[in-house]
Chains A and B, each alone.
Chain A
Amino acid sequence: MEGHGNGTPRRVNRQDVAVVREEWRVVDRWWTEEPVSRRYFDLVLETGENAVVFHDDDAGSWFTQRA
């Protein structure tokens, strides 16, 4: 997965992102051993497929999630 400089995803599963439909953020469980700090994106890929991906701020990595 690749991202733009502004933190939004550019390519997901080797497909370009056609549209970022929505972005939201989750910061939770910061008081535990497993804090969550993520930027979520609801995407439409160039194939027309929907995808939800998130960037985990602590891991510094991108993950996909079922749309």
Chain B
Amino acid sequence: MREHELARSSKEPAPYAELHAHSAYSFLDGASLPEELAARAAELGYEALALTDHDGVYGSLEFAHAAKHFGVRPITGAEVTLDGGAHLTLLCETQRGYSNLCRILTDAHARTRVPGKERELLPPQTCIELVADHAEGLVALSGCARSGLGTVDPNAAALLGRAFPNAFYVELQRPFERGDGRRNAALRGLAQSLGVPTVASGNVHAHHARRARLQDALVAIKSRTSLDGCERERRGNHQSVLVAPTEMLERLPSDAAQRTLEIAERCAFDLTQELGYRYPDFSDGPDPAEVRLRTICDRAFTDRYAGANGHKRLARARLDDELQLIGRLGLAGFFLLHWEVLELARECALEVRGPGSPRHVLPPGRGRGSSVGSIVCYLTGLSHVDPVEAGLSLGRFINDEMAAVPDIDLDFPRDIREKLIVRVTERWGREHAALVASFSTYRSRGAIRDVGKALGLPFAELERLALVTDGWDATRIADELAGVPGSHTGPRWDAFRELTREIASLPRHISQHPGGMVISTRPLIDLVPVQPAAMAGRQICQWDKDSCGDAGFLKIDLLGLGMLSAVEEAIDRIACLRGETIDLSRISLTDEAVYAEIQQADTVGVFQIESRAQMQSLLQTRPENLDDLTVQVALVRPGPIQGKAVHPYIKHRQMLREDPSFEPPVDHESLREALRDTLGVVVFQDQVLDVSMAAAGFSIGEAEGLRRAMSRKRSEEAIEAFRERFVDGCLGNGIDEAIAHTIYDKLVGFAGFGFPKSHAAAFALLAYQSAWLRRYYPAEFLCALLNAQPMGFYPPSSLVRDAQRRGVEVRPPHVNCSEAQCSIENGAVRVGLGYVQSVGETEATEVEARRPYADLGDLARRASVKADALEALVAAGACDEWGPRRELLWRLGITARGETVPGGNRQLALPLEPTAEVPKLPEQTPWEQMLADYKHTSLSVGVHPLQLLRPHLPASVATSSDLSETPNGSLIQVAGMAIARQRPATANGIVFMLLEDEHGQSNLIVPSHVYERYRAIVRGEPLILARGKLERRGRNINLLVSELASLGPLARKAASEAEVTSSLPRAHHFGSR
């Protein structure tokens, strides 16, 4: 039958409504997105469709919006798993029913994480009594053919039949399995005996037959086996897909099919309507929220602006205006809520930092984003930047025309954030607060590995493909496979091509948002189910940030920022070692020595301005103060890059340096003021607002609407909708139509991927502070950076090399000298035992606690660590004081080790010396030792691989230090270890690489055609020889690469066949793959 024949005419009512459908939010079971189900249902002529995912409403709001968009009435529901594994389909009739469903689902998940073993996920299950107690407003169907309650536990079905008076139906399905007839006859008998009606359902698992194969594969993935190995779990055929209502009538008894319409009619609850969410707004206090907020701000104002502050009057006026605006918008409670969260953070900071810590001078957290432009945020501690002094505007954060609550993002050191998330949950109660969910979706590597394994394809082939894939877009895997050598033919590979395309972007599992929390006055578990997270004490709601936003939930972002942790630790160490208490809020912000390093792009490890692109830009922009740094932080972002702002800004800065009276050109005079600070180009998000108001006469609300359109996914249509209004406005202001379009094109190019100025100012301050610490306390700063990993642009090995070049002594791990973490030892950085692979945090702490050790035997006897961790300690050089590593490893094999006995005590082995003699073992070569360092600690403080390789390279191969003396345009070769690889989406397939040698770093530009030719080398080889033309632009030196070669074989030969490639660390990768 043709599809168009399946769709009913607009006048003919659909004879059937689908009441049982799973989307991909029935993780690794449903094979279609909610929108796909909704769109297909509309195409097939359905009037109503229920989404009934397993034990969750993860995709329900997304589905409800999509279904309404397509003209299909969405029904909210879920298929709940009961104790013992039986399934029950629940549909929401009323809002009360929806709340009951949320409570049932919350209970089902409540025991999925056992305290102490949170990482292991148990299946959700709830008890039938709880379901019976929450029956109001719900319609219950007896569940699916295979596991439904009606099939597996008819007695329990009878119990529920009584608990759901006039709302319990026995579900009949026709999955075309052998035994359908017998089962449905039994179910009809059950219905008759219970005196309840039957109802038909399709148990849909895909929106279209073409996804049925994927559904099979998902079952295999979920079962952690191959398709061949999960015959019992698979559905056996491809019938569980959405089919036309008329076809369902043919499959199932007509009375049961027609009853679906009756139920669909009953389930009138609309999830897209107001759910009754309210955030705690302090309306129940003795004083109105506005009065309380003003009191807090006034008190802080007196304190903050006490000195002879030149802008005190301006600040007062700004505060009064802002408080009035907040009053008009009814947002006083919103600010008080964030203030209270910050007060909780202060308590957490006190506990985490400990009494008398030098870190107490630091605020517990810092604001980021547009809220940094608010003086109320500054005075309530939500921001650390004085917006009046920094010239930050408020409009992007709050304005009279805003319709939604604004966002306040707060950054915390990781240790404080960990505690705060749990504390917030405890403060408002586990029924009222939870983290926002995020869903891990299939991208290339996951798709390659999961689908490939399901199809039983060779592991090595899959890994080879995973290595060269672009990483993000799984729909491109088939094309990428074509470029991988080898034969990839036959039905399994054909299926692989098809399924990796189909699986792209489907959610795989739920995880937690980086820091978004929802707090609700009304119990949150009445609005959305809440489930425990994989980390102790945390819980997540079942909606992601988009669904939470659509439901009108207020999301508070409590973000962890590695650099804040590093800065705090550095300050702690400086105070402990040197007795100097540093208050970063009082350091000079105009230190010439710090800016000199920034202008030289000597910024490895500095927050935000350490990347290759930032360094290249710094050499040209040469920031001289915090304002310049604010622009700098925002400049190297996709928005300004796509908006073609970077080169004009750099050019204008150079011209301004040469001629201080230089006035940067602007597209129209009306833009001069809006773009003054950024030399005539759009760098900050706020300038999109400023420009559209100045040029086109937009109101602040309209301008914010344009900015929001730019920051949304798939927003081209929305952005273009603003163009006519923009151009008309410009014409009204006397701007030529062509120029109006040019200005608008630049704004569109910006497209939202940029920082608001306030956010950039907050980050610029942290960038400066980190540069200051690096300049004056390089050892403490490096130590803190190493302990805060993973973070930043560079791998730890490069941070170490950079610090060594700047005179910092770095010592290798040592069982008797190292602590668990990296530490400072007589002014040098001592690598921590935790850096040794296979040695976990607990084991490193254990080794540290029992120091000192007399010898290897003593270590083996007393330290409660596993054998592989002991071996790793020896192999990594942490025991070098007791002899050559090979000899120690041999000894370790015959050394008696202590054992942990029941009760946790350590039973020591007798300290008997091994009776066997140590055979004569060859000493490790420098190559072997260096490779062992990298392999076991991911870094080496000794000789650089290129130093060892250099004598084996042709003399014509330049070093990184030669490049500054090499003429522009020279054809040269450079060799090095790849440390970073960047493939920005904005660079048309060009790859930027950083190679490190014994002297420093070299920048490579790999054009896309060269990348395609040498993709495997670019992506997989640690040691590379690059040939190309040296390009010098200003102070920037790059090698435009024309050829690449792996130095792996040469290094292996030089290293006497030692395994080089797999021992060296992989380059950090950024951008698309």
Report which A residues bind B (CB closer than 8 A): 21-28, 30-33, 35, 40, 42
Tell me whether B285 is interfacial, beta carbon within 8 Å: no
Selected from A21, A25, A27, A28, the residue in CB contact (under 8 A) with B181 is A21
- Given A21-B181, A31-B455; A26-B491 close (CB under 8 Å): no
A35 B491 Cβ-Cβ under 8 A: yes
New A-B pairs, 17, CB < 8 Å, besides A26-B236, A26-B237: A22-B178, A22-B179, A23-B176, A24-B176, A24-B178, A24-B180, A25-B237, A25-B239, A27-B237, A27-B238, A28-B236, A28-B237, A31-B213, A31-B227, A31-B456, A31-B491, A42-B178
In the complex, A35→B238 CA distance in Å? Answer: 13
In the complex, A27→B491 CA distance in Å? Answer: 15
Q: What are 5 inter-chain pairs, A to B, with CB distance below 8 A?
A: A22-B180, A24-B178, A25-B176, A25-B236, A32-B492
Contacts of A30 in B (CB 8 A): 213, 216, 491, 495
Contacts of B179 in A (CB 8 A): 22, 24
A27 B236 Cβ-Cβ under 8 A: yes
In the complex, A35→B455 CA distance in Å? Answer: 13
**Interface residues of B, CB < 8 Å — how many?**
22
> Chain B: interface secondary structure?
loop
Interface core residue of B179, B213, B227, B237 (most chain A CB under 10 Å) = B237
A32 B236 Cβ-Cβ under 8 A: no
In the A-B complex, list the 3 residue pairs whose CB atoms are closest, starting with the nearest: A25-B237, A25-B176, A24-B178
A26 → chain B, closest Cβ, in Å? 6
In the complex, A26→B236 CA distance in Å? Answer: 6
Residue in chain B with minimal CB distance to A35: B491
Selected from A24, A26, A27, A33, the residue in CB contact (under 8 A) with B490 is A33
In the complex, A35→B490 CA distance in Å? Answer: 12
Residue in chain A with minimal CB distance to B226: A31
Tell me whether B177 is interfacial, beta carbon within 8 Å: yes
Contacts of B495 in A (CB 8 A): 30-31
Contacts of B490 in A (CB 8 A): 33
Contacts of B212 in A (CB 8 A): 27
In the complex, A30→B499 CA distance in Å? Answer: 12
Q: Which chain B residues (223-263) contact chain A, with CB distance < 8 Å?
A: 227, 231, 234, 236-239
Interface core residue of B179, B455, B491, B492 (most chain A CB under 10 Å) = B491
Residue in chain A with minimal CB distance to B492: A31
Contacts of A42 in B (CB 8 A): 178
In the complex, A32→B456 CA distance in Å? Answer: 10
Report which B residues bind A (CB closer than 8 A): 176-181, 212-213, 216, 227, 231, 234, 236-239, 455-456, 490-492, 495
In the complex, A31→B216 CA distance in Å? Answer: 10
B965 → chain A, closest Cβ, in Å? 60
Residue in chain A with minimal CB distance to B212: A27
Residue in chain A with minimal CB distance to B236: A26
A40 B491 Cβ-Cβ under 8 A: no
Interface core residue of A23, A32, A40, A42 (most chain B CB under 10 Å) = A32
Contacts of B231 in A (CB 8 A): 28
A32 B239 Cβ-Cβ under 8 A: no
Contacts of A27 in B (CB 8 A): 212, 236-238
A32 B178 Cβ-Cβ under 8 A: no
A24 B177 Cβ-Cβ under 8 A: yes
In the complex, A28→B178 CA distance in Å? Answer: 15
Contacts of A32 in B (CB 8 A): 491-492
Residue in chain A with minimal CB distance to B455: A31
In the complex, A23→B180 CA distance in Å? Answer: 9
Contacts of B227 in A (CB 8 A): 31
Contacts of B180 in A (CB 8 A): 22, 24
Contacts of A26 in B (CB 8 A): 236-237
B455 → chain A, closest Cβ, in Å? 5
Interface core residue of A25, A35, A40 (most chain B CB under 10 Å) = A25
In the complex, A23→B709 CA distance in Å? Answer: 53
Residue in chain A with minimal CB distance to B456: A31
In the complex, A26→B178 CA distance in Å? Answer: 9
Contacts of A23 in B (CB 8 A): 176
- Given A27-B238, A28-B236; A22-B492 close (CB under 8 Å): no
In the complex, A42→B181 CA distance in Å? Answer: 11
In the complex, A10→B544 CA distance in Å? Answer: 55
Interface core residue of A21, A23, A27, A33 (most chain B CB under 10 Å) = A27
B801 → chain A, closest Cβ, in Å? 48
Residue in chain A with minimal CB distance to B177: A24
Residue in chain A with minimal CB distance to B178: A24
B863 → chain A, closest Cβ, in Å? 50
B216 → chain A, closest Cβ, in Å? 8
B493 → chain A, closest Cβ, in Å? 10
In the complex, A38→B237 CA distance in Å? Answer: 9
Contacts of B178 in A (CB 8 A): 22, 24, 40, 42
In the complex, A33→B456 CA distance in Å? Answer: 13
In the complex, A25→B235 CA distance in Å? Answer: 10
Interface core residue of B178, B181, B492 (most chain A CB under 10 Å) = B178
In the complex, A27→B213 CA distance in Å? Answer: 9
B184 → chain A, closest Cβ, in Å? 11
In the complex, A32→B177 CA distance in Å? Answer: 22
Residue in chain B with minimal CB distance to A21: B181
B181 → chain A, closest Cβ, in Å? 5
Contacts of B237 in A (CB 8 A): 24-28
Contacts of A31 in B (CB 8 A): 213, 227, 455-456, 491-492, 495
A66 → chain B, closest Cβ, in Å? 14
In the complex, A19→B494 CA distance in Å? Answer: 41
Contacts of B455 in A (CB 8 A): 31
A41 → chain B, closest Cβ, in Å? 11
